Each structure stands twice: as C-alpha cells, then as structure tokens.
A and B are shown apart, each in its own frame.
Chain A
Amino acid sequence: MGRKLLTEHVNVEGIETFKVYRQHGGYRAVEKALKMMPEEVVEEVKKSGLRGRGGAGFPTGMKWSFLAKPEGVPRYLVCNADESEPGTFKDRYLMSKLPHLLIEGMIAGSYALGARTSYIYIRGELLYVLRILEKAIAEAYANGFLGENIQGSGYSLDLHVHPGGGAYICGEETALLESLEGKRGNPRNKPPFPAVQGLYARPTVVNNVESIAAVVPILNLGGDEYAKIGVGKSTGTKLFSACGHLNKPGIYELELGVPVEEFIYSDEYCGGIWKGRELKAVVAGGSSVPILPKELILKTAAGENRLMTYESLSDGGFVTGTMLGSGGFIAMDETTCIVKNTWNFSRFYHHESCGQCSPCREGTGWLEKVLHRLEHGHGSMHDIDLIVSVAKQIEGNTICPLGEAAAWPVAAAVRHFRDEFEWHVTHPKEATAPGAAYRGNLVLA
C-alpha cells in the first residue's frame, strides 16, 4: 500500500480533538508557513503540482497566483465543502474524521493568499459535520491558531463555517459565493471570475476541501518532495470514494498512478466485484463524468493499462476515455441496467438545475422524460438519437458546468451502451421485467 499523507492518522482515537491532532504533528505546517513569506507558500504549492480535487483538476498553485491583489481591499479564501455529487463522499469523511487538517490547511492557505477572513461553505445536509468543524474551530481559537496574532506572527485570521441549504448547484463556485452572500444560489456570469470579483465583489479563491487539506502535507514535505509522488502531472495522493457493486466499498487514499485494475480487484483496495459477478461499467469520477464499459476502464483504446491519474483516465478524450473528476468511483456489475442508471442520473440533474439559463432548465427535464420513457419500455429508436442530440444542445451552451454534467453521462451511456438502449426499444417486456439487465445477447432476469 502506498503512502498516506492525508489520512495517515485517521484511525487514531481522539484525532478530532486539538490535543491529539497536535501530538501527531498537527499544525506544524502552519508554524512553518508563518515563518515563510506568503509568496513562498504559494510557490511551494505551485512546485507540488497539486491539482484541484473538486473535479476540474485545475492546478491549485496557479489558481492562487491568479488572485488579484489590489491595495487596501480584503481578499477571501472560501472552502467548497458542498460535496453533493452522487458517488462522491470523500470530503465528508475527511472533515468529520480530521476537522483540524482542514482548518490547518485553511490557515496556511489564507496566510498565503493574504486573507483575513475565510469561510468554509458546507453542504446543508452535513449538519453533524458542521458541529464537528465548529467545535474544532473553537479549539483552534482557544489554542491561538485562529483569531488575532496567530502564534505571535502578527497574522490574524477569522474562520467561519456556513451551511448551505442543500442545493447541488451551490457547489459551483459562483453559485456558492452567491449563496454565501445570502442570495439565491444562481451561478454568476463569467467574466468577472472570482479571482477578480468573488465574494462581496472582492478577490476570492474557492478551493475544494481536499485541495486545501493537501496544502498541509505539501508544506510538511516541501513542494518538490510532494511532486515526486504520483505519475507525470498527477502528483500526490488523492482520496477516492469507491461505491457500487464492490466487495470493499469505502474511502481509499491512493498515490496517483495505481492501475484501475489493481484498484478494483486487489484485496488491498476494493477487493473485486461482489457476489463473484462480472464488472460491467465504471463511472470513474462522480456521476457527471462519462461512464465507461469494463474493456475501456481497465485498458485504454491503445491497449495500455489505465491508471488512476488525471491524464490516464482522460486518455482518448470522451470517445474512449473519461475523467478523474472528484474521485467518486462507482462500479456496476453485470446485472446493472445502464438505461435505468442513466435515467436516475438524469433525474438528479433535472431536479438540481437552477433554472437560470434555458438550455439546462429545459434540456435536463427533456432528457429525464425521454429516458424515463425508454426505461419503461415506451421509447422508440428515434428517442435514442433524440437524447444524444438534446445532450449536445445543452453541452457548452450554459452559464455553468451543470449543463455539461447533465449532458455527458447521457451521451456517454448511448455511446458505449447503444445496444442496451436499443434492446429496451425492441424488447420492452423483457426490459421492464423486475431486475432485468441486458448483457450482450444474454438476458438476466
């Protein structure tokens, strides 16, 4: 098993308290950072090659260096803890087990960016995690790591946790900022980008929980050392939340570069597919990324082993590849109905569309209705082309990426499992039988 940088002490009893966390080397990164210049901290993060863990994979150090720094204007660091992508549950785990790790990362990040007030925007449903964080923040204040003049360095920081109302769209960074300001969580038009005009129209950086937490090992090890872990431009370790038809679903911290096959089948990780069944398909990075059939998730189109890295998973573009996304790894066995699964994802996006821009508002509902029809045996061959075409009309034409998130899974499902969709049209009775699933010409019922 590879190195664990984030979750090394996760099973230590009482690690959620300041005292135990400190005993296990906690807050060393903050002490180190406060002795450096803020620019040097940004430089370390840049050197580490850390890529955003929220889904898009944008280099964090680069994002930090884009922050506008006008004189006399406050800046903000906002942590995006609105994790609500189906299949992704790594941030919840990290925050509830290691609240001080996130707080430590927030302090170091805020110092690097020159923010005097920082926010953690947490998903509304995670109220119990909110309480854990609030308790941890109170401890950090009591021990002089938050508030005025942190550890005598002259740097002051206030950290607030703010719960959302439970909308998926508030995980989009500008919708999150709107919501944090107390408005309806609609994504903003860009430009201006948050780095120029974010929270309260001030320069703001929005980072995922795991990205901020990763700043701690980066500072402890040094950027160069951190960059040695992983493969190519995918450096460091990443949390994967494995779920679905696996023997051992759960959260795994991997050094980026583990082969997908090893991740699924090795006993060290997920331990293979449950009940001795065959793997059918995998959604590798949360529900919005394209689904891939077994043959393409284990090997790329060129026949190379696929690795758990940003580059390898997106090898082949969307034709034969997918994305690493947020690390929500959903495995489906041979009894899974892809049409039903696609409909289910579609229903989610229909429900969560904010309704601001027309392609997404109307298109997500349309997709859901047609997929519902197909799943329930009332579809026609024409409907299969229709959903591909509607998905294409949404993709790229919306204000925020939710449109793409809704369109990609549908387009990919038809791309790779068209025969299954067709089977639903030609064999409506068999397809709508309880527990029915299509497997080549073999029908399981």
Chain B
Amino acid sequence: MAKITFDGIEVEVPDGTTILNAARQIGGSVVPPAMCYYTPLKGSGGKCRACLVKVAAGSAKDPRPMPKLVASCITPVQDGMVVENTTNQQVLDVRKGIVEMLLINHPLDCPVCDQAGECDLQNFAFEHGVSTTRYEEERRTFEKIDIGPYIQLHMTRCILCYRCVYTANQVTDNRVHGVLGRGDAAEIGTYIENSLDNDFIGNVIDVCPVGALTDKTWRFKSRVWFTKPVNAHRDCSHEKCSGKVTLWYKGKDVLRVTARKDEYGEVKEWICNECRFERKETADWILEGPAHIDRSSVISANHYELPVLNAQIIADLPESTVRELEQNPPLKLGGFNG
C-alpha cells in the first residue's frame, strides 16, 4: 500500500495505482478531469493532458518535486507522494491552456450536436476554460463519414483521444479502425471506409467523449436533457454482452439504448449491437428503475429523481438536521455519487 497526499487530503491506495485513480477514491471536486483516459481500455491515457498535476514531492524516499507536470492518469503513486491539483495555480493555468488547445479546431457546434449535454469536452471547457478564444485562423474540417449502418463519424469534432481505437482493438474482433495521418491532420480512419459491421462496434459511441461518433438511430431525435434515463436489462444471447443498459425515454418511446456509465462516464460492461440498435421497445427489456444522473448535469435539470447528498456534505451537517432529514426525507440520503 502507498500513502499519498492529494490536495492536502491523505489517501491510502494499493501500489501501482495511478494518481488519478487515487484521487477518484477521494472523489468530489479534487478529481482531475480526464478526456482520454478510460479505465477499462488498456493503454489509454496520457494524450489529452487535461489531467496534468504537480507532484510536489516524489516519494518518501526521494522527496524532490518532479520537474514537469505529470499526467495523473498514467503516473503510478509512490509512498509519501505529495500531489497538488486544484491547490496549484500552475496546474490550473496549464489546464486552461489545454482547454484552449482542444477547442481551437473544435467546431463548437454544440447547438446542433447530439452529444451536447453529456459531452466531456463541454463540461471540461465549462469548468476549466475561459469564455473567449484567441484563435482567429480557419479551423480544420473534415467531411462526415458513414461507417457502417449505425455509426456516423464527424472527425471535425474529434479530439483524438484514441479511446475508440482502443475499443475497436480490445473489445471487438476485427480491427478495421485506427488513426491515419499525422499532427493536426491525423484522423480516425477505417481504411477505405470499411464499414464497422462487427457486433460490438457500437461501444465506440459510448466511449467517445465528444460528438465525433454518433448513433445514427438516435441522431437529431431529441436533446438529451428532454429524455429520461432508465436502467434495464435483458437476457442477451451474445456471450460477451452484459445485457445491462440504460434506456433513454421520451414519453413512452425508447429513443436510444446505451451501456451504463459510472460517475466518471466510463462503461464497465459492454453491450452488443443488437441490444443497442435493434431493441427499442419497452417489451424487450426488464426495467430496473431510473438511472442516476449527477445533479450538476443538465440532463437532471427538470428531473424526477430526488437529488442525492454526498457523504461528505452529510458529515458536515449538524446531527439534528440529519436526524430530521432521515425522519422526514425531502432529500434522498446516502450514496457517494454526489
């Protein structure tokens, strides 16, 4: 086990844990943002540089600070390490710069983008960026490409996180998908537009942090915040498919089906294309109940689910208030996912 201090909070994690995952054990606002790292995908991370942190002391043995900011998603902890994230002005400034870099070639077409409302880049820019740009040049653009019957690739929005490349490599059977070109001309390519018709490829839509890969059965159907997510499952015959999904309802219609995401937007159990694209009737599914959506998300604005207080806030409340809330709950208590 290694004990580290992250933004002044001590946490003990197993050896080999990355700084980012140690921070996620603390949870809340100290967790560095991650645009490319994706826990289930081996080799992901290190590319977007959004999660850069300052290591003020390398370890108990060698307490020298690391000379450069390090990517917290790929740097393993050392016992006695002291890490500064939100408490370090340099880190915050650099993060602002990263937002700017990610946005200079991004079309900012959020008003017509299906990802808006659940977009990692949107959240990241809102939380860490500035509201103006210094970029006056023409932006890089690409034509939209249909890859397979279900997925559309809009490279102009892509931030080259490589998550879909790793997904195609690690989750699906045939690799027909990779990065072509170099520098800011690099693009996700499918080698002469080979259609991605293998039965797990729909997962690339879920891992995409932006609106570059979208579900053609869902495109332009609704804004995401007008839909209600409901967890459901079915007994899928595909051996690798978990059958555990979130159905996105508008009225009585299931507009789309996605895999379930955790609080960091990560899918832990993959689903097959049949569950995702073909099963859009309530009768196909066994409903479990409303899916949890973070309070800060626009999806939960206007929502039916009771807000959740996180454990830390509860701990800070006076005991009498907590008792009163428990007896007469206007709010749902418990849960760490606030």
A, B bound: yes
Please give the residue numbers on chain A whose beta carbons come within 8 Å of chain B beta carbons, in ascending order: 167, 169, 184, 189, 191, 350-359, 361-366, 369-370, 373, 386, 389, 393, 396-399
Query: Closest approach, in angstroms, between the C-beta of A82 and any C-beta of chain B?
Result: 15
Mark B172-215 against chain A: 1 for CB-CB distance below 8 A, else 0: 00000011011111100000000000000000000000000000
**Which B residues from 92 to 150 make CB contacts under 8 A with A?**
94, 97-98, 100-102, 104-105, 134-135, 137, 140
Residue ID in chain A nearest B103 by CB atoms: A362
Q: List 25 A–B pairs whose Cβ atoms lie within 8 Å, in order of A's numbering.
A: A184-B178, A189-B71, A191-B75, A352-B182, A353-B182, A354-B182, A354-B186, A356-B47, A356-B162, A357-B48, A358-B50, A358-B101, A358-B159, A358-B160, A361-B183, A361-B184, A361-B186, A362-B102, A362-B105, A363-B101, A364-B183, A365-B105, A366-B104, A397-B98, A399-B71
In the complex, what residues of A have CB within 8 A of residue B71's CB? 189, 399
**Do residues B47 and A365 form an inter-chain contact, with CB atoms below 8 A?**
no
CB distance from A353 to the nearest CB of B (A): 4
Contact of A350 among B162, B178, B184, B186 (CB under 8 A): B184
Q: Smallest Cβ distance from B79 to chain A, in angstroms?
A: 16
B276 at the interface (CB under 8 A from A): no
Using C-beta atoms within 8 Å of the partner chain, give the interface range for chain B.
35 or more
Q: Are A397 and B49 in contact (CB under 8 A)?
A: yes
A397 with B184: CB separation less than 8 A: no
Query: Is B229 an interface residue when CB atoms closer than 8 A count as contact?
Result: no
* In the complex with contacts A355-B160, A393-B94, A189-B45 CB distance below 8 A: yes
Q: Determine which of B50, B134, B186 lies in contact with A386 in the assembled complex, contact meaning CB atoms within 8 Å.
A: B134
**Which listed residue (A355, A369, A397) contacts B52, Cβ 8 A?**
A397
Does B104 contact A362, Cβ atoms closer than 8 Å?
Answer: yes
Query: Contact: A358 with B47, CB < 8 Å?
Result: yes
Given A189-B74, A357-B48, A369–B137 Cβ distance below 8 Å? yes
Residue in contact with A355 in the complex, picked from B97, B134, B178, B181, CB distance below 8 Å:
B181
Bound-state Cα–Cα, A191 to B100, Å: 27
A353, B101: Cβ atoms closer than 8 Å: no
Tell me if B137 and A366 are in contact (CB < 8 A): yes
Q: A352-B182, A357-B47, A397-B52 are in contact. List 13 more A-B contacts (CB 8 A).
A: A353-B182, A353-B184, A355-B183, A355-B185, A356-B162, A358-B102, A362-B104, A362-B105, A365-B140, A365-B184, A370-B137, A393-B101, A399-B47
Q: Would you call B69 an interface residue if the criterion is a C-beta within 8 Å of the partner chain's C-beta atoms? A: yes
Note all chain B residues with C-beta closer than 8 A to A366.
101, 104, 135, 137
Measured between beta carbons, the chain A residues less than 8 angstroms from B47 are 356-358, 399
Contacts of B45 on A, CB cut-off 8 Å? 189
Q: Which residues of A contact B94 (CB under 8 A)?
A: 393, 397
Q: Which 10 residue pairs are nearest across A and B when measured between Cβ atoms?
A: A355-B186, A393-B97, A353-B183, A189-B46, A362-B101, A369-B137, A365-B184, A355-B183, A189-B74, A396-B68
Contact A398 B49 (CB under 8 A): yes
Tell me the smallest distance from the CB of B318 to a CB of chain A, in Å. Answer: 44
- Complex contacts, B52 vs chain A, CB 8 Å: 397
Chain A residues near B68 (CB-CB < 8 A): 396-397
Interchain CB contact (< 8 A) of A358 among B48, B140, B178: B48
| B160 nearest CB neighbor, chain A only | A355
The smallest C-beta distance from B240 to any residue of chain A, in angstroms, reads 26
Contact bitstring B24-56, A, C-beta under 8 A = 1, else 0: 000000000000000000000111111010000
**Neighbouring B residues of A365 by C-beta, 8 Å:** 105, 140, 183-184
A369 and B75 CA atoms in complex are apart in Å by 34
Chain A residue at smallest Cβ distance from B67: A396
Interchain CA distance A191-B140 in the complex, whole Å? 33
The residue in chain A whose Cβ has the minimal distance to the Cβ of B73 is A189
How many angstroms between the C-alpha atoms of A362 and B137 in the bound complex? 12
Of all chain B residues, which has the CB nearest A399?
A: B46
